[in-house]
Amino acid sequence: MKPPEVDRIAGSKAAVAARRARAEVKRQVSSGERTASDVLDKATPENPAEASLRVSELIGSIPWLGPTRTARIMTELGISPSKRVGGLGIHQKKRLREFLVERQKRRIETGALVVLAGPTAVGKGTVSAFIRDHHPEVLLSVSATTRPPRPGEVDGVHYYFVDDAEFDRLIEGGEFLEWATVHNAYRYGTPRAPITQALAGGKSVLLEIDLQGARQVRETFPEARLVFLLPPTWEELVRRLTGRGTEDADEQDRRLVTAKRELEAQDEFQYKVVNADVETAAREVVSLMPTPSGV
Ligand code: 5GP
């Protein structure tokens, strides 16, 4: 028997509202506003949004966990893919809570590796310099490069300026987390040791590297958070690129071509931040790192 029209409309409105409420819970977890264990604790009949959320959706909303790892975790916890948070058995709930609390602790103890990439001249350097100057709790990785220093650049602060032979030695010694030839010109590489040390000590690390480097980090360090910095508009990017005045016309053309290609890669990135204002962009990048102090 078909339900009366008014009931049907009311029912579908309620379903839409319920879906919206669940989407909001997922958003809170994925943005870090709320922990997944808090959602688990609130999943009672009085809180239908939390209770009717699927466990897989809850786990999948936790930053850094993609569908493959979510599926593996669900299997390990012995929870079926269709299970809703409110429908968990006592033992399943206990296992899930232990897993979530353990994970949260580990995240806070180990610090995050955040990679800031983006097209040439988008302002990666300015945003990371702002973070270096205002967030001493974050380690800004210093790369090695074969490029000669620009006026004002200090060895060991902006880069380690090395020659080709030294760069080769660093590659052979396995000293780099990643390295690449950038703009078909000079080589740049991220020293591995300071990063692993900082992460183990609970400090978050920021890498400001090119796209090829970001892709390598994604492969070798899947937990890294990849951020793509975007210009407010293409015109603004061109203005920033030509206005910098540190490169000759040929070099500017080369960089413009690279920038266009690089912009096309934005969808490979988990996070996108628009650099309209340096301070706001820096704050958004830092918000992806766990705070050292709190659980
Ligand atoms: P610049 O020569 O203007 O300082 O940097 C040129 C490009 O090299 C920038 O896009 C910068 O992000 C990138 N870069 C700097 N350090 C590294 C690094 O260690 N690895 C990689 N792959 N790229 C880097």
Give the distance, in angstroms, between the CA of residue 144 and the centroid of all CA atoms in the same chain: 23
* Per-residue model confidence as pLDDT tens digits over 144-188: 999 999 999 999 999 999 999 999 999 999 999 999 999 778 999
| 216 pocket-lining for ligand 1 (C-beta < 6 Å) | no
Q: Using the atom order of ligand 1, give the atom closest to the CA of residue 214.
A: 22
Amino acid (1-letter code) at residue 78: G
Q: Is the pLDDT of residue 270 over 80?
A: yes
Ligand 1 centroid distance, CA of 111 (Å): 23
pLDDT in tens, 121-142: 899 999 999 999 999 999 999 9
Ligand 1 contact via 190 beta carbon (within 6 Å): yes
Tokens of 246: 């540190």
Cβ of 212 below 6 Å from ligand 1 = yes
Confidence band for 107, pLDDT divided at 50, 70 and 90: low
Mean pLDDT of 223-238: 93
Minimum mean pLDDT among 90-94, 111-115, 191-195, 251-255: which range? Answer: 251-255
The backbone region for 25, taken as left when phi is positive above 0, alpha when psi lies in -120 to 50, beta otherwise, is alpha
CA gap 267, 84 in Å, rounded: 31
pLDDT band at 4 (very low <50, low <70, confident <90, very high): confident
Ligand 1 in reach of 124 Cβ (< 6 A): yes
Average pLDDT, rounded, for the chain: 90
Q: Whose CA is nearest to atom 9 of ligand 1?
A: 210
The bridge status of strand 143-145 relative to strand 186-191 is antiparallel
The pLDDT score that the predictor gives to residue 291 is 65
In this predicted structure, the answer to whether residue 213 has a pLDDT above a threshold of 60 is yes
Question: Are the beta carbons of 257 and 82 closer than 8 angstroms?
Answer: no
E strand or H helix that includes residue 222: none
- Please tell me the residue having the least CA distance from ligand 1 atom 2: 147
Amino acid 9: pLDDT: 82
Q: Compute the distance between CA of residue 48 and CA of residue 82 in angstroms, rounded to an integer.
A: 16
For 236, counting Cβ atoms within 10 Å of its Cβ (0-12 exposed, 13-18 middle, 19+ buried), the class is middle
Q: Residue 294's pLDDT is what?
A: 32
Q: Of the ranges 80-84, 143-147, 259-263, 272-276, which one carries the lowest mean pLDDT score?
A: 259-263
Mean pLDDT of 76-84: 95
Check whether 89 has a pLDDT greater than 80: yes
Best CA proximity match to 114, nearest among 217, 220, 262, 219: 217
**Arithmetic mean of pLDDT, 183-198:** 92
d(CA 139, CA 245): 29
Q: Which helix (H) or strand (E) holds 166?
A: helix 164-172
Q: Report pLDDT for 103.
A: 82
Residue from 122, 147, 178, 188 to probe ligand 1 pocket by mutation (most atoms less than 8 Å from CB): 188
Alpha-carbon separation of residue 210 from 170, 248, 283 (angstroms): 19, 21, 21
How would you class 75 by CB atoms within 10 Å of its CB: exposed for 0-12, middle for 13-18, buried for 19 or more?
Answer: exposed
Kindly give the distance from the C-alpha atom of residue 280 to the centroid of ligand 1, in angstroms, as a whole number: 22
Whose alpha carbon is nearest atom 6 of ligand 1?
A: 182
pLDDT the model gives residue 46: 96
Q: Cα(188) to centroid of ligand 1, in Å?
A: 6
